Amino acid sequence: MVSGQGLESEISTPLLGTHPRGPHIHYKHRRWILFLLCTVIVTLDFGTFLSIAPQTQIMESIICRKLHPGLFIDLPYGQFLSDTTPCKSVDVQGELALISGWKDTLDQIPGIILALPLGFLLDRIGRKPIAMLSMSGLLMEEIAIRIICLYSEAIPLRAIWLTPLFQLCGGGSQIASSVAFTIVTDIFPAEQRANLFFMLFAAVLLAEILATPLSAWLMSWSPWLPFLLGWLCEGCGLLAAILIPETLPKSSCELESESPDEERDGLAPPLTSPKWKESLSSAGSHIMHLTAFFWGNFNTVAISIAFLAASVGGQALQLIIQYASKRFSWTMAKASFLISLKGIIDLVVLLLLLPTISHFLNRHLSPAVRDLRITQGSAAVLAVGFAIMAVAGQPALFAFGVSILALGWGFYSTLRNVATTLVAESQIGTLNTTIALVQGVGSMLAGPLLASAFRKGMVLGGIWMGLPYMVGALLFLLAGLAASSIRTPR
């Protein structure tokens, strides 16, 4: 749900624009709210990671049954081949990559379209209604995916491309994760937020580390077991979210309630334009402001290019289960352990490696230059990791490449830190909105691009099977070059 490429950036990005600044409301139970928020994130992402490998296997089996029905003559519908090798053919894997790639692309569209209107509603009706809408839309989408897979004899699998329409209810995972950011911003002062965002990201990693081996174990009985349990966990996350109180600052609520009070007192309504005209005018002004902000500063352009290239390149990791299963003739369950491996190393990097490197560089460099050097190093590590994965012909070397890749996954957070130190505080909301839109566009482009690279690599065979990761390596080199062109104050 909240997971996916750039988990770290999702949590730390207010996609919905700005929120009122100034004195923060002091909640007696804000630690309790933070606990509930972490519970919701862990529950949602636990369900998501529980479902990734079984969903891939179920979709692969459905495609294999359609393209090679002779393999399933004596097998009841819904059962799986004991030997999945016939389903690793180029036609089956190419169709699976195509369906998954375009699904990832279409998933980005509702969040991009609804970012501004839901941003207005976020400050008008509150955080909780938007969060509940987003999570409800995501749950309906997950139900639809399972119905399509369950009744695949009657419903074509490509109907999954229509399921992102459910995200029009609330904007999807981008909006949900942005609301989580906003809630933390509402109730905690600025000096505490950095550590709290790390805590939220650690919660995502914890779900990733724990859910993947459990999913693999449950898949030894049937892929449907973790696939259905995953949705149940996500539903529990929605129930937990109900307990989170509204955190919209009272000043915003009072402003919204003034006009109804005046009407009830019998006062003549002010002669103002309709609210929808005000909203359109505000949206237009916001878009013009974003455009001027983007093109008015060289650093903003360089940062946006870096985020765009990294967003597209990072999506190559979404193919890891399908790729490892095809390349090394692994089961989906076995391939899913690579996700846990990356999650464990990510957690070590987050809690130990990055703080240690930052502490050492603090002695010699300013904060902006320090974060820029870490960003450049992370981009190089990511490119090397993808390059090793691309050429790896043995499972051990591929796992080593995944481990190297995970060491550089702090790229997104350190690049964001660089960006926030180079703009005025009043422009941070605009900066984050720009970055979020750029990442959304990158994720849209990544799906069909990497799916095509995967299919082409399988046709060419040999070392070219790693073509998606070659593309990822090149894109992170581009991201590193763009980051290197950022001008920091001395």
Indicate the residue type of 280.
L
- Rounded Cα distance between 467 and 461, Å, is 10
What pLDDT sits at residue 23? 41
| % of the chain surpassing 70 pLDDT | 78
CB-neighbour burial class of residue 323 (10 A; exposed 0-12, middle 13-18, buried 19+) = buried
Tokens of 249: 């600052």
Angle made by CA atoms 360, 363, 365, in degrees to the nearest 5:
100
Check: CB of residue 391 under 8 Å from CB of residue 463.
yes
274: left (phi over 0), alpha (psi -120 to 50) or beta: beta
Q: How far is CA 270 from CA 89, 286, 291, in A?
A: 69, 25, 33
Residue located via tokens 């139900």: 143
Closest CA relative to residue 108, chosen from 168, 65, 68 = 168
With a CB cutoff of 8 Å and minimum separation 6, the contacts of 388 are 397, 398, 400, 401, 404
For residue 17, what pLDDT is reported? Answer: 47
From first CA to last CA, the distance across the chain in angstroms is 41
Q: Which residues 6+ apart lie within 8 Å of 46 measured at CB?
A: 207, 210, 211, 233
What residue ranges define each of the domains in the chain, with the CATH number in brackets?
25-70+80-248 (1.20.1250.20), 286-489 (1.20.1250.20)
Cβ 17 vs Cβ 424: under 8 Å = no
**pLDDT tens track for 248-281:** 876 544 544 444 544 444 444 444 455 555 555 5
Exposed, middle or buried, 253 (CB in 10 Å: 0-12/13-18/19+)?
Answer: middle
Q: Could you report the per-residue pLDDT of 57-103, keeping only the tens digit for each?
A: 999 989 988 888 877 666 666 556 555 567 888 888 889 999 998 99
Write the single-letter amino acid at 221: W
C-alpha to C-alpha distance for 414 and 420, rounded to whole angstroms: 10
Of 37, 63, 207, 217, residue with least CA distance to 149 = 63
Q: CA dihedral in degrees (276, 138, 181, 430; nearest 10)?
A: -40
Q: Is 165 exposed, middle or buried (0-12, 13-18, 19+ CB in 10 A)?
A: middle
Q: Give the Cα separation of 109 and 89 in Å (integer).
A: 31
The tokens describing 359, both together, are 């502490």
Task: Give the relative orientation of helices 395-407 and 320-327 as an angle to the nearest 10 degrees.
Answer: 160
Q: How far apart are CA 426 and CA 336, in angstroms?
A: 43
**What tens digit of pLDDT does each residue of 116-162 get?**
788 778 778 888 898 899 999 999 999 999 999 999 989 999 999 99
**Which of 352, 122, 360, 362 shows the shortest CA–CA distance to 249?**
122
- Left, alpha or beta for 6 (phi > 0: left; psi -120 to 50: alpha)? left
**Alpha helices per DSSP H over 265-319:** 275-295, 298-314
Which residues fall within 8 angstroms of residue 231, CB to CB, at 6 or more apart? 47, 51, 139, 142, 143, 146
pLDDT value of residue 73? 66
pLDDT (tens digit, 0 to 9) for every residue of the chain, 490 residues total?
A: 554 444 444 444 444 544 444 444 455 577 888 888 888 988 998 999 999 999 999 999 899 888 888 776 666 665 565 555 678 888 888 899 999 989 988 998 898 888 778 877 877 888 889 889 999 999 999 999 999 999 998 999 999 999 999 999 988 887 887 788 778 877 877 667 666 777 778 888 888 899 999 999 999 888 999 999 999 999 998 888 899 888 887 654 454 444 454 444 444 444 445 555 555 556 566 566 556 655 667 788 898 899 999 999 988 988 999 899 889 988 888 999 999 999 999 888 888 888 888 888 888 888 888 889 999 999 999 999 999 999 998 999 999 999 999 999 888 888 888 887 787 666 666 676 677 778 888 888 898 899 999 999 988 988 999 999 999 999 999 999 999 998 877 6
**Calpha distance 261→264 (Å, rounded):** 5
* Residue 468 tokens, joined: 């998606």
